[in-house]
């Protein structure tokens, strides 16, 4: 369904039009191209679409947003370097306040990073930065093709998940000889 857009401005897919949100509880579902978040993911990248499901609880000029992001991350196994993919889930939590706050309220809200203060005349809020941060926080540091991935042989590079390589015997020999050398010295 087409969304009504304010004249002249282009609404980003991650934007919420504040006055379109009804009072009370409502649900939203966004499907995003991860490229839209301009993530600098490093070793891993998001593949497929990013699903963002959340509910908004609006009470006058306060919008409580709670939801979840679902995506897929692709990269390499840290041990055997084979391509891997895994699910990425990230929570989304945010409180928007669109009204004039007293000094004390402002101070309290300023300390809470889940609270965003909006100017009384604000028309829309772009969740892009929030979504971006949520994804970055949940990106794995390492991925493995499986928990017990045996990795690569340090000598010949053979993927040990597919069986032992010819160096297996030689490797243990050299370990023993290293021990022997230690004892002698």
**In whole angstroms, how far apart are CA 14 and each of 50, 139, 162?**
11, 20, 44
158 binds Zn ion, rule: CB under 5 A: yes
CB within 8 Å of 92: residues ≥ 6 apart: 52, 54, 65, 66, 67, 68, 69, 127, 130, 131, 134
Of the candidate residues 25, 156, 164, 179, the single one contacting Zn ion (CB under 5 A): 156
145 binds Zn ion, rule: CB under 5 A: yes
CA dist 116 and 109 (Å) reads 8
153 binds Zn ion, rule: CB under 5 A: yes
Of the candidate residues 30, 79, 90, 116, the single one contacting Zn ion (CB under 5 A): 79
Q: Give the shortest CB-144-to-Zn ion separation in angstroms.
A: 6
Bridge-based pairing of strands 124-126 and 15-17 is antiparallel
Of the candidate residues 46, 80, 88, 94, the single one contacting Zn ion (CB under 5 A): 80
152 binds Zn ion, rule: CB under 5 A: no
118 binds Zn ion, rule: CB under 5 A: no
How many helices, marked H, and strands, marked E, lie in the chain?
Answer: 3, 7
155 binds Zn ion, rule: CB under 5 A: yes
Using CB under 5 A as the criterion, which residues of the chain lie in contact with Zn ion when the complex forms?
77, 79-80, 145, 149, 153, 155-156, 158, 165, 167
């Amino acid at each position: 369904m087409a969304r009504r857009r304010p004249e002249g401005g282009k609404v980003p897919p991650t934007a919420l039009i504040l006055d379109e949100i009804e009072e009370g509880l409502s649900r939203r579902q966004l499907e995003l191209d991860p490229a839209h978040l301009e993530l600098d993911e490093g070793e891993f990248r998001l593949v497929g679409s990013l699903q963002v499901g959340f509910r908004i609880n609006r009470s006058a000029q306060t919008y409580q947003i709670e939801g979840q992001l679902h995506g897929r991350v692709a990269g390499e196994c840290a041990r055997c370097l084979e391509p891997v993919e895994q699910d990425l889930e990230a929570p989304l939590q945010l409180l928007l306040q669109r009204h004039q706050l007293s000094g004390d309220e402002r101070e309290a809200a300023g300390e809470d990073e889940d609270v965003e203060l909006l100017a009384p005349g604000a028309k829309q809020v772009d969740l892009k930065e929030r979504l971006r941060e949520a994804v970055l926080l949940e990106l794995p540091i390492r991925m493995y093709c499986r928990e017990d991935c045996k990795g690569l042989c340090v000598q010949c590079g053979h993927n040990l998940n597919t069986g032992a390589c010819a160096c297996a015997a030689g490797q243990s020999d050299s370990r023993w000889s290293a021990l022997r050398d230690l004892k002698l010295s």
